[in-house]
Amino acid sequence: MSGQAVGARGDVSDGLVFDEGLWPLVVLRLPTRFTPACMQGIIDGYERTYARKERFASLTDCSSTVRFPGAVERKMLAEWLGQPGRTENEKLYTVGAAIVLTSGPMRALMSAIRWINPPTSPQVWPATEAEAFEWCCEQLVNAGIPLTHDLEAARAEHQRSRAAAARRT
């Protein structure tokens, strides 16, 4: 399925899902392992998203990832992140990014890295997709960006799931 469209919802590349179906929320589901094709899929997806010239929030779910990017993928990412046009697009269009990291030490490491090198838009590293989803919706609302009917419905479902999980504990 590498590189094939998945309905109107997004692209799949080497296990990566880049889903724009809940616009203005973009949802990325990262694979267990990164490959150059996966990293290129992330870059291409964001470039396509920035080309819309509309503000959005992004949720990146790393909960399935067992091996983070290797040297080749890190180089690809660093080169793309260093492009002035990309940085400007992030400032203009990204109202916030939530990156789901299930590892507490990894979240602490990311916070330390971003403290030294602050991102151009707000970022958080929650432990669950439900927390990330709610934070992204709040960022959109706070930025004055209306939530679509589909996004409101997905938000309500996430809230019900969080409430049910809280009752079980």
> What would the pLDDT profile of 68-83 be if each residue is shown by its tens digit?
788 898 889 888 988 8
Helix crossing, 84-93 with 71-81: angle to 10°?
A: 70
Q: What is the mean pLDDT of the chain?
A: 85
CATH of the domain at 43: 3.30.750.24
Cα 111 from Cα 108, distance rounded (Å): 5
Q: Quick one: DSSP state of residue 9?
A: T
Predicted local distance difference test score (pLDDT) of residue 8: 35
pLDDT by residue (tens digit) across 37-96? Answer: 999 999 999 999 999 999 999 999 988 888 778 889 888 988 898 888 998 999 999 999
Residue 99 has pLDDT above 60, yes or no: yes
Predicted local distance difference test score (pLDDT) of residue 15: 83
Residues 6 or more apart from 121 whose CB is under 8 A from it?
A: 90, 91, 94, 95, 96, 97
When pLDDT is averaged across residues 127-147 and rounded to a whole number, the result is: 96
Q: How far is CA 111 from CA 22, 37, 118, 140, in A?
A: 27, 27, 9, 22
| Number of structural domains the chain divides into | 1
Domain of residue 50 covers: 5-168
